[in-house]
Structure 1
Amino acid sequence: MRFALSEDQKLLQDSLTKALADLAPLERVRRFADDNEPSAGDIWAGLADLGLPGLLIDEEHGGLGLGLLEAALAAEALGRAVAPTPFLGSAVLAPLALKFGGSAGQQARWLPRLAAGEVTAGVAISEPIAGARDGAGVAAQGGRLTGKALFVIGAEGADLLVVADRTGGLHLAETAEAVEAMSTIDATRRLTEISFRDTPAQPLAEPPAGKGALHRLRDAAWTMLAADTLGAGEAMLEKAVAYAKERRQFGRVIGSFQAVKHLCAEMAAELEPARALVWYAAYAFDHAPDEAPLMAAHAKAHTSEIGRFVARTATEVHGGMGITDLLGLHYWFKRIGLNRQLLGGPERVRETAARLQGLAA
């Protein structure tokens, strides 16, 4: 068996990386993040021309019919560019929710429009995965939703909401009582707080089947966040190495100093094995589903830790310049920070991994 990316997979990631260099250069990211632009629709429209929104949607509904490994390669490229897109919600979690729990009618209505990039979807699944806080949580009864969801992914301007209730059931809603922006460290992606008050919603799979669907969404989301962190870490390492080659101190480039060499080597040594872990977690989602929950947990927890190390170390290599807005290094730093905590920090995710292995009381 050949354990490597296929030529098509390499081409997919390379093409996306090149497209993002034009669609989402750092100055475009700055405008979205610092000028508080309402959306980055131009970036998503450009990616839609490449078929990215339909990556996981079957060909019958207008998509490409690819797997989570291809989605992870895309997430890695998006993290490398710190691109502000609704990829996680609209291209990954919403299509998977419809695949695992949607009726034929729901799939026919939404999947072609999601694949074409005509609509976007927000996903509210944080409470049953990472634990409720501040009185949050959504109750479902009689086709209606009531309650509050925090840390909702991609809901700003979305046409569709995938909502998990307290029991793990999934629902589709097209409206909400209120959608309010939440303040986070990462300005390249926006999370929201959504309130429901007797809001009409269509159920997807009901528990216990619905809880199984939620767990599949959790595994996919953890893997995508790990891939995003991997890409952001790779970008920070590349920037640190490039800076070390040009910054001069005491008449020499700082990259010639042994201490700086060691810092860069340590970052590379942490990132390289993580790539295989993330790719296998994505592969397992489709081809080894019994292994997928544990591999997704390992990928999320491990990249959360090494991502923080790489973010800190790359900033140290840049010295005082690393904390200035001039280089924009903070966009990657903060993106890694949000990925670490979103849908469960590494401590909580490791606890889930321990339970999956029967190692927790």
Structure 2
Amino acid sequence: MDFGLSQEQQMLRDAVARCLADTCPLEHVRECSERDNPVSDKVLDALQGLGIPGMMIPEEHGGLGMTLLDAALVAEQLAYAVAPVSFLASHVLAPLALSEAGSEDQKVRWLPKIASGEAHISVAISETVEARDGAGVTCRGGKLDGTALFALDFAGADAFLVADTTGRLHLVPANASGLEKIPLMTIDRTRSVGELRFAQVTAEPLADDSGFTAGRLRDAGRILLAADSLGAGQAMIEKAVDYSGQREQFGRLIGSFQAVKHMCAEMAAHHEPCRSLIWYAAYAYEAMPEDVSLAACQAKSHTGDVHRFVARTSTEVHGGMGFTDLVGLHYWFKRIGFDRQVLGGPELVRAEAAVLQGWIKAA
């Protein structure tokens, strides 16, 4: 039995990698990260040419009807290039929510536009994981009040998909009366994140009112963040190995020193098993939905810790150069830090996994 990628998946991964190599050099990432809106139209247009915005949208609505494993492969390559583009919310979570729980009118109205790149939807579901003081959105009489933090793919959104305190999802137009949109500065300047404040904002609920779809989005988001961390970690390992083969100290390449060899080998040994963990979780999303929540928790928590170690160790291999903007390691370092915390840090997610397995009771 073959547990590897299909030929089509390998072609998808390679096509995205080539596209980003041509359109997203590190200098372009630097330029974008210094702007108020870091999203690169050039890179987005190139990805549009590959059909990436429509990859999770059913074919009957103008998309490609692909799987979450396909999306995980794309996320990995985007992180490898630290591409400053919208993806997780606008091209994965929002299409999944509309496809699984949207009304027919909502599907017809939004999915073809997302697939063609005409529209994108930001997603704010962080409060379904853990709400900070003063955060949380309530719905009464079809109107939303409260605050939603960490809306993903925030910049330029045409609408927002927001979870209320019961887990129900609501669509809110970006120009809705009573909605205040505040850009947030995070450690990762390659992605756009914002805060939403609602004051009697009219909202359009999705058909599912049980909170089930919000849970599905949470699982998908955790898997994709783990895949993103995988791509960033791969880049940091490769950069450490390349640098150790060029930098000389005491008349020798530092890569010839046993300590440096061990550091690089240990990074690779911890990193590589994460790949199968993420692939399994992504495959389970469609094929084994009863297993996906636990698999998503395991993938998110484990890769979060592993790639924090990889980020730190890669920087140590570079010595003082690792802290400079010239090398640019900090872009991957900060991306890994963002991936680790969004939708639950390792400790919180492991606690969820323990509850799912019956080891502890839910708080």
Tell me the distance in 2 between the aligned counterparts of 1:98 and 1:108.
Answer: 10
- The answer to whether the aligner puts 1:197 opposite 2:194 as a matched pair is no
CA–CA separation in structure 1 for the residues paired with 2:208 and 2:192: 29
1:258-283 C-alpha deviation (Å, 9 max, x unpaired): 10000000000011110000011000
Query: Bigger shift: 182-191 or 161-170?
Result: 182-191
Read off the aligned partner of 2:283 and give its amino acid letter. Answer: Y
2:160 is matched by which residue type in structure 1? Answer: L
- Residue 144 (str. 1) matches residue 143 (str. 2): yes
Partner residue, 1:170: 169
Number of the residue aligned with 1:93: 93
Identity percentage over the alignment?
56
Measured in 2, the distance between the counterparts of 1:301 and 1:45 equals: 33
> Is the counterpart of residue 273 in structure 1 residue 273 in structure 2?
yes
Using the alignment, how far apart are the partners of 2:346 and 2:281 within structure 1?
A: 16
Which amino acid is 1:185 matched to?
A: I
SS at match of 2:245: helix
Q: Note if 1:135 corresponds to 2:134.
A: yes
Deviations along 1:217-272, one digit per CA (max 9) or x if unpaired, are 00000000000000000000000000000001111111011100000000000111
Equivalent residues of 2:121, 2:160 under 8 A apart? yes
1:273 aligned partner, one-letter code = P
Give the aligned residue type for 2:270.
Answer: E
Q: Does 1:122 align with 2:112?
A: no
Tell me, what secondary structure is at the counterpart of 1:318? helix
Kept after mapping to 2: 8 A contact 1:205/1:213: no
For 2:347 and 2:323, how far apart are their aligned partners in 1?
Answer: 28
SS at match of 2:4: coil
Please list the CA deviations of residues 322-352 of structure 1 after superposition, one character each: whole Å capped at 9, or x if unmatched. 0011111000000000111001101110011
Letter in 2 for 1:50: L
Q: In the alignment, is the contact (CA less than 8 A) between 1:300 and 1:346 conserved in 2?
A: yes
Partner of 2:339: 339
* C-alpha RMSD of matched pairs (Å): 1.0
Shift of 1:38: 5.4
SS in structure 2 opposite 1:246?
coil
- What's the offset of the Cα at 1:181? 1.3
The residue type equivalent to 2:98 in the other structure is L
The answer on whether the counterparts of 1:244 and 1:255 sit within 8 Å (CA) in structure 2 is yes
Give, in whole Å, the separation in 1 of the partners of 2:56 and 2:319: 42
Q: Report the counterpart of residue 54 of structure 1 in structure 2.
A: 54
- Once the two structures are overlaid, the 10-residue window that deviates more, 214-223 or 154-163, is 154-163
Contact in 2 for aligned 1:58/1:65 (Cα 8 Å): yes
Are positions 1:67 and 2:78 aligned together? no
Is the contact made by 1:156 and 1:179 (CA closer than 8 Å) also made in structure 2?
no
Q: Give the partner amino acid of 1:114.
A: I
Q: Give the unaligned 5+ runs of structure 2.
A: none
The residue that corresponds to 2:187 in the other structure is 185
Say if 2:83 and 2:190, in contact at 8 Å, map to a contact too. yes
1:156 is aligned to: 155
**1:31/1:37 contact within 8 Å kept:** no
User: Which contiguous aligned blocks of 4+ residues in structure 1 show a shift greater than 3 angstroms?
Assistant: 35-39
In the TM superposition, residue 37 of structure 1 has moved relative to its aligned partner by 4.3
Q: Where do residues 241-280 of structure 1 align in structure 2 (5 Å cutoff)?
A: 241-280=241-280
Q: Distance in 2 between matches of 1:282 and 1:257?
A: 39
How far is the alpha carbon of 1:199 from its aligned partner?
1.1
Contact 2:40/2:85 (<8 A) preserved: yes
Q: Deviations over 1:102-151 (max 9, x none)?
A: 0011001100110111111100100112x111301111122221111001
Deviations 1:13-68 (A, max 9, x none): 01001101122111111011124445322211211111001111111111110100
Counterparts in 2 of 1:38 and 1:247: CA distance versus 1, 3 Å: closer
Matched residue count: 358
State how 1:294-309 maps to structure 2 within 5 Å.
294-309=294-309
Q: Does the 8 Å CA contact 2:37/2:155 hold for their aligned counterparts?
A: no
Q: Which residue of structure 2 lines up, in the alignment, with residue 6 of structure 1?
A: 6
CA distance in 2, matches of 1:38, 1:128: 27
In structure 2, distance between residues paired with 1:11 and 1:290: 29
Report Cα offsets for 1:189-220 as digits up to 9, x if no partner: 12111111111211003432xx1101100000
Q: Equivalents in 2 of 1:23, 1:52: separation in Å?
A: 15
- Aligned amino acid, residue 127 of structure 1: E
AA matched with 2:159: L
The whole-number CA distance in structure 2 between the counterparts of 1:83 and 1:347 is 28
Alpha-carbon separation, structure 2, partners of 1:199 and 1:82: 35
> C-alpha separation between the residues in 1 aligned to 2:208 and 2:121?
20
> What amino acid does structure 1 have at the position aligned with 2:187?
I
TM-score in terms of structure 1 length: 0.97
Q: 1:169 touches 1:205 (CA, 8 Å); kept in 2?
A: no
Q: Partner of 2:165: helix, strand, or coil?
A: coil
Distance in 1, Cα, partners of 2:37 & 2:287: 40
